[in-house]
């Protein structure tokens, strides 16, 4: 199928796959370059772990698994979002050349959840939890916003507990 601009869906998917591949590799490199992220015990070596992730990322890229690449990028960037590691976002931009803002997407996701008025997935629950933690840790807290977000979290927890019992 060809889109009106003459670019096929397959070309778009390939471009997106390459972008997320590059972003994941840059994210892994960021971890490998950070001394504080290094862990080496008898049972675990973070360097080996990240090198293994690089190989798996290449496999997902080569097999055209865009959804998997997007999920991995999200998973690998969660702690940077939670920590508000702005240096990480700048690192990604410099390393990959992509105009990416992991925080912009995060804020958009949170807004969509708030507009919808309910949390429907565990990932959404996690996003809202991070926002509540962030707002509570700031000096000028937005108590009305925190209240709304906490209501969403509570409603989701109640729904989850009913469906699991």
d(CA 9, CA 3): 7
Ordered DSSP codes for 75-143: HHHHHHHHTT-HHHHHHHHHHH-----HHHHHHHHHHHHHHHTS--SHHHHHHHHHHHHHHHHSSS--H
The H or E element that residue 9 is part of is helix 9-33
**Distance from C-alpha of 163 to C-alpha of 126, rounded to nearest angstrom:** 19
Please state the domain extents for the chain: 9-100, 103-164
pLDDT truncated to tens, each residue of the chain (165 aa)?
445 556 888 888 999 999 999 999 999 999 999 887 788 888 999 899 999 999 999 999 999 999 999 999 999 998 888 777 878 988 999 999 999 988 888 889 999 999 999 999 998 998 899 888 878 877 666 788 999 999 999 999 999 998 876
């Amino acid at each position: 199928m060809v889109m009106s601009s003459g670019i096929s869906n397959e070309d778009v998917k390939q471009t997106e796959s390459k972008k997320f591949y590059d972003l994941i590799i840059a994210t892994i490199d960021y971890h490998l370059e950070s001394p504080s992220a290094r862990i080496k015990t008898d049972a675990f070596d973070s360097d080996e772990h990240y090198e293994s992730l690089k190989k798996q990322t290449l496999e997902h890229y080569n097999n055209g698994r865009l959804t998997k690449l997007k999920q991995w990028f999200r998973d690998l960037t969660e702690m940077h979002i939670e920590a508000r590691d702005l240096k990480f976002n700048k690192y990604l931009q410099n390393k990959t050349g992509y105009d990416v803002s992991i925080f912009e997407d995060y804020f958009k996701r949170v807004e969509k959840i708030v507009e919808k008025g309910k949390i429907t997935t565990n990932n959404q629950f996690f996003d809202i939890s991070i926002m509540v933690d962030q707002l509570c840790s700031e000096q000028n807290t937005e108590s009305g916003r925190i209240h709304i977000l906490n209501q969403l979290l509570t409603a989701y927890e109640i729904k989850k507990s009913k469906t699991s019992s």
